[in-house]
Structure 1
Amino acid sequence: MTHTALVIGGTRFIGRHTVTELLANDYEVAMVNRGNHENPFADDDRVTRIEGDRKDRQTLRTAKLSVDPDIVIDCVAYQPIDVETATEVFADVDGYVYISSGSSYSAEAIPKREGETPLCPCTPAQATDDSAETYGNRKAEGDRAVFAAAEDGVNAMAVRPCIVYGPHDYTERLDYWIDRVLSHDRVVVPGDGQNLWQRAYVEDVASALRIVAERGEPGAAYNVGDRRALTLAETVETIAHAVDTDCTVVTASDDALAAGDLSPDDFVLYREYPHLLDTCALADLGWESTPVEEAMGKTVAEHRESDRDGSEWDPGREAEERVIGIKETL
């Protein structure tokens, strides 16, 4: 029996991989979005696209009536009202899954666990804000909207990824580090290189969304992240291994970075306090994580075919060279 999935979003990164995951598992797939980004499935007759703004309740109602989805994956709910509206419109589907975030956790615990680690508060003003500063607050309030919907009988769940990476990542955060390894034989890493900000491979996030939609418990949230979390130094080394090149990690203290007028926060994917999510609940549903070497290999291969270089995150190679020079004289 063929099942039908509706993906709200579906063209850029997580949504794109989610559509591919659903197709690979024999779903008929429809997407609803505004059409602001190129549609990678434009020539795929297995995918139907409905144009409209997800914030428009009538757009969601039209999508529901035309698609009659078994499951709904919500990739672009950035305000709590988006979740509240979607869980009302899709109240009778077999599974509604909201993409939340590891940023919804307010406490610095290692690891962060669903149902145990406190979530961020969210004021009415934060709930309607679109700034990066309120992202975690809004995602947490979306989680609470999922919990409330489940209390009312909706089969609604949340999936909380940490930082997502992989092919077609428009944020270019990991692209910066890949480009550094491809371009230089010495790469500056802030601190001692052991800082840990867990990431989630995008294909694993996509499979998590499908699995939670099919098997998740209504009202539950599920963390998703690489089962083997890499430190920043290990990340650089894994990239170097993927491209089969020699690359020296140059760790730099605050004082050493100051020689180049740099600080640790100038480097993307640096986080002073470790960020690690417990993914046992998701694994209990049968989800598995792609080995990081395989995930990095696919990520690097697609990077080389793209025009992304992560330059928007570049702290300045000349400044880094000054740091490297200082380190070499010590």
Structure 2
Amino acid sequence: MSTPRRLPERDLAEITTLAEDDLSALEGARIFVTGGTGFIGTWLVEALLAADRELGLRLGLTLLTRDSSGYRHRRPHVAGDGRVTLLEGDVRMFTESEPHDFVVHAATPTSAAHTPAERSALYANIVHGMERVLEVASAWGCPRLLFTSSGAVYGRQPPDLLRVSEDHQSGPDPLSTEMTYHEGKRAAELQGALSTEAAQVDVVVARLFAFVGPLLPIDAHFAVGNFIRDALAGGPVVVEGDGSPFRSYQYAADLVVWMLALLVRGEPGRAYNVGSQDAISIADLADLVARVVGDGVPVDVRGTPVDGQPAERYIPDCQRAEVELHVRNSVPLAEALARTATWHRLIS
């Protein structure tokens, strides 16, 4: 069995400190997590277990997974923990009779769907998965559910809009099959709103943007992960496009702190952007990664900007969460990149 890639103790301790009040509100709770084996779910689950050890919360966690044996191989320290129950099943048709107090529904494939069959399956997983989770939570009499949606629900952000807020009236093209993921998340949000309105389950929506941290793949479709991979390999850091789009990145430990605040204190029937407001162009991000991670390795920007074409933006306005829930990002981007790279060096 390979050595499990544990999350940094420093990060887990910081989460416990920053979210102590919200964690204490979960004392004695049974929490059901879908998507608990992915990037976001793994961070949340391991942070909860670490906080339980520190604060004596007496938590019980149930993780829904399609492959329990694979998860036991990848995260044996979690799967073998007495506080954790693995439930093998499909999010669209699972059964679980034991009631839980809270649900975190974070099960969504994020990989691109290229064929009609893949797109249909992606949409069905999102919509029918949400339908089943709501059905089960309602049968439990579960009062609170946190749904991880996406900033993709806003569609393309106008280039003259610096940050997109939760009240922004826009959306993806419903006739574009490339928007399948986006429309699936919109439909699932509506399902949650209907359930909240009917007083069945109180659904709080987290609209997630972009993140960086240990466990983020460095060989997939995440630009920041690929840049870190290139820098760790000695460069060059390759930018396949022209480097003009703007993105922002929240460190995974801060993401968990925000999710806990939403789970405990978020207003039902309301959405909150989760991410960072600090925009950086992809070209500047590559330069930053090259300096912080690669000690100044070269950067290769392979595309050429088109004259007169405004830069694409995907930047959240996070004031709602900051004002209503009093959350802040504690780890700046440069430090987030350094921590992520250090973790990859340690596990390689």
* 2:168 aligned residue: 116
Paired residue type of 2:64: V
For residue 205 of structure 1, report the CA deviation from its aligned partner: 2.6
Contact 2:290 2:299 (C-alpha < 8 Å) held by counterparts: no
The structure-2 alpha-carbon separation of the partners of 1:47 and 1:286, relative to structure 1 and needing over 3 Å to count, comes to: farther
Partner of 1:5: 31
> What is the one-letter code of the residue matched to 1:275?
Y
Match of 1:286 in 2: 326
Q: Which of 133, 145, 148 is residue 96 of structure 1 equivalent to? A: 145
Give the conservation status (yes or no) of the 8 Å contact 1:160–1:224: yes
Give 3-state SS (helix, strand or coil) of 2:342's partner: helix
TM-score, length of structure 1 as denominator length: 0.75
Distance 1:45 1:229, change over 3 A: farther
Contact 2:164–2:317 at 8 Å: present in 1 too? yes
TM-score, normalised to structure 2, is 0.71
Residue in 1 aligned with 2:129? Answer: 82
1:120 to 1:150, Cα distance in 2 relative to 1, 3 A? farther
2:15 corresponds in structure 1 to none
Task: Verify the 8 A CA contact 1:8 1:76 in the aligned structure 2.
Answer: yes
RMSD of equivalent CA atoms = 2.8
2:154 equivalent in structure 1? 105
Q: Secondary structure at 1:117's aligned position in 2?
A: coil
Change (3 A) 1:93 1:193: same
SS of residue paired to 1:79 = helix
Q: Percent same amino acid at aligned positions?
A: 26
Give yes or no for contact 1:159–1:224 (8 Å, CA) kept in 2.
yes
Deviations 1:277-322 (A, max 9, x none): 1111122312222322232122112223456xxxxxxxxxxxxxxx
Pick closer, same or farther for the CA change 1:107–1:175 going to 2, 3 Å.
closer
Q: CA deviation at 1:132?
A: 5.9
**Cross-structure match for 1:71:** 102
- The alpha-carbon deviation at position 31 of structure 1 amounts to 0.9
Query: Does the alignment pair 1:180 with 2:212?
Result: no
Alpha-carbon offset, residue 149 of structure 1: 1.4
Partner residue, 1:275: 314
Report the Cα distance in structure 1 between the residues aligned to 2:174 and 2:196, rounded to whole angstroms: 20
Work out the CA distance in 2 between the residues paired with 1:15 and 1:113. Answer: 25
d(CA) in 2 for partners of 1:282, 1:135: 24
Could you tell me which amino acid in structure 1 is paired with residue 90 of structure 2? D
Q: Which has the larger displacement, 208-217 or 240-249?
A: 240-249
> SS at the partner of 1:176?
helix
Q: Which has the higher Rg, Structure 1 or Structure 2?
A: 1
Letter of the structure 2 residue corresponding to residue 135 of structure 1:
Y
Amino acid at match of 2:47: E
Report the CA distance shift for 1:84/1:121 in structure 2 as closer, same or farther (over 3 A).
farther
Counterpart in 2 of 1:137?
A: 183
Following the alignment from structure 2 to structure 1, what is the Cα–Cα distance between the partners of residues 346 and 228?
13
Which position in structure 2 is the counterpart of 1:45? Answer: 82
Equivalent residue pairs, number: 281
Relative to structure 1, is the Cα distance of residues 135 and 272 closer, same or farther in structure 2, using a 3 angstrom cutoff?
Answer: farther
Change (3 A) 1:45 1:227: farther
2:281 to 220, 231, 235: 231
The 1:156/1:185 distance shift into structure 2, 3 A limit, reads closer
Secondary structure at 1:180's aligned position in 2?
A: helix
Are the aligned partners of 2:172 and 2:182 in contact in 1 as well (CA < 8 Å)?
A: yes
| Superimposed CA distance per residue, residues 146-190 of structure 1 (whole angstroms, 9 cap, x where no aligned partner) | 111111122101111113332112363233211222334554546
Equivalence for 1:202? 252
Seen in structure 2, the aligned counterparts of structure 1 residues 69 and 188 have a Cα distance that, compared at 3 Å, is same
> Segments of 4+ in structure 1 off by > 6 A?
none
